Amino acid sequence: MANQGRTPEQISIEEITWLKRLRQGLDKTRRSLVNQLRAIVGQGPLNQDAVLEIESLLLQADVGVEATDYIIDALQNKLRSETLPPAEAIAYLKQILRDMLDRPGGKGINPTFAPEKDTLNIWLITGVNGAGKTTTIGKIAHIAQKSGYRTLIGAADTFRAAAVQQVKVWGDRSSVEVIANPGKNTDPAAVVFDAITAAQSRNTELLLVDTAGRLQNKKNLMDELSKIRRIIDKKAPNAKVESLLVLDSTLGQNGLRQAEVFSQAAQLSGVVLTKLDGTARGGIALAVVQQLGLPIRFIGAGEGIEDLRPFSSYEFVEALLSG
Ligand SMILES: Nc1nc2c(ncn2[C@@H]2O[C@H](COP(=O)(O)OP(=O)(O)OP(=O)(O)O)[C@@H](O)[C@H]2O)c(=O)[nH]1
Ligand SMILES: [Mg+2]
């Protein structure tokens, strides 16, 4: 959804900058994976030692047990019947990873994740505190605005005093209006109600809803998210709703455990992986799709407004495995 209003030259410079940044971001993961993998898979049929080595490399990159088993099985099947030169073996491995990333839970996904034009799309952004929700909203708002979508932000994190101010700063940066309620102890569901009312009267195409990452306790947080979700479904029954979990990739497997709880409360439809810049845990993307059965929709690799992109399995796997 990012191509309107820019010249081809601007677009290609941005693409190159992004790919460079993504590669740099995954540098640590790649360095620990690629050379060793290259050496192992290039030796022909995988013996038990090689399998154990690959297993440990993948687990170190936080690929997770399930996804690792799947990858090892696929590699073994292939390499049992033929000996591949290293480059071809790596190419085959890339293919396995791309297929996994493109078919989370075997469901198949929409590869160009874009809001539908001339329709109200509501994206509910959830996740634990500090995961990068508000930053992600600012970045998505920027992409959406550049792409010509009529966009609004609903500031439904009313728990922290500074949260509304923070999301307003992002709204200013991306020239997107923020619907907020300045009163103290405002009910976040009421803010969502107001934001949907505003969106409906202005023919908004994308409403981004910021939520709290921490409340008095986990049950309160989940109750609040469930309530927000109910308000959305009731007040905007025809809207296209996406419920995105923002996951901090530096937390690795620990982050995944949070996901199940959110999944129940917010009926998740996808994941945004943040902080892929400078983590050795880039393999978490594979664990997300394999363990949660959810597609990755966006990835963030930096704190700046341009540092977020719709997820592309091709870009990701190239950045992860090209030497
Ligand atoms: N390096 C890096 N930092 C990021 C990225 N995304 C977010 N951050 C940083 O992570 C910190 C937390 O981001 P927020 O957007 O405030 O997180 P949040 O989920 O809204 O947090 P709460 O509102 O407290 O629940 C900020 O310092 C961001 O700049 C990313 O992709 N890379
Ligand atoms: Mg926030």
| Residue with more model confidence, 202 or 93 | 202
CA distance 117 to 227: 27
| Residue 320 within any structural domain of the chain | no
Q: How far apart are CA 176 and CA 280, in angstroms?
A: 34
Residue nearest to atom 22 of ligand 1 (CA): 129
323 within domain boundaries: no
Is residue 172 located within the same domain as residue 268? Answer: yes
Give yes or no: residues 152 and 47 share one domain: no
Q: How far is the CA of 130 from the centre of ligand 2 (A)?
A: 7
- Point out the ligand 1 atom lying closest to the alpha carbon of residue 278: 1
Q: Which of 59, 82, 106 is the last residue of a domain?
A: 106
Report the alpha-carbon distance of residue 140 to residue 207 in Å, rounded. Answer: 11
Closest CA to 213 of 151, 137, 133: 133
Assess if residue 296 is contained within a domain. Answer: yes
CATH number of the domain residue 97 falls in: 1.20.120.140
Domain count for the chain: 2
Whether 277 lines ligand 1, by a CB cut-off of 6 Å, is: yes
The pTM score is 0.90
pLDDT of residue 159: 86
Instruction: Say if residue 108's pLDDT is above 50.
Output: no
Q: Residue 26 above 90 pLDDT?
A: no
Whether 66 and 208 map to the same domain: the answer is no
For 63-76, give the DSSP string.
--HHHHHHHHHHHH
Highest mean pLDDT among 2-6, 258-262, 285-289: 285-289
Structure tokens that stand for 301 in this block: 């690799």
Q: What is the mean pLDDT of residues 140-145?
A: 95
Q: Ligand 2: distance of its center to the CA of 26 in Å?
A: 25
pLDDT of residue 106: 45
Q: Is the domain of 293 the same as that of 145?
A: yes
Looking at residues 291-306, what average pLDDT do you find? 91
Q: Read off the pLDDT band of 321 (50, 70, 90).
A: confident
151 and 41 together in one domain? no
pLDDT confidence of residue 237: 97
Is 283 within 8 Å of 58 (Cβ atoms)? yes
**Beta-carbon contacts of residue 89 (< 8 Å; ≥ 6 apart):** 41, 42, 75, 79
Residues 53 and 183 in one domain: no
By residue range, what is the domain housing residue 147? 121-312
Residue 94 lies in a domain: yes
Residue 70 lies in a domain: yes
Domain boundary (52, 77, 106) is at 106
Q: State residue 112's pLDDT score.
A: 54
Q: Are residues 98 and 146 in the same domain?
A: no
Q: How far is the CA of 135 from the centre of ligand 2 (A)?
A: 7
pLDDT at 5: 57
Do residues 39 and 92 both lie within one domain? yes
Which helix (H) or strand (E) segment is 58 a member of? Answer: helix 48-60
Per-residue model confidence as pLDDT tens digits over 213-248: 887 778 888 999 999 999 999 999 999 999 999 999
> What average pLDDT does range 258-267 have in this prediction?
83
32 and 132 part of one domain: no
Strand order in the sheet with 151-156: 177-179, 151-156, 206-211, 121-126, 240-248, 270-274, 296-300, 308-310
What's the CA-to-centroid distance between 237 and ligand 2, angstroms? 26
Tell me: do 20 and 97 sit in the same domain. yes
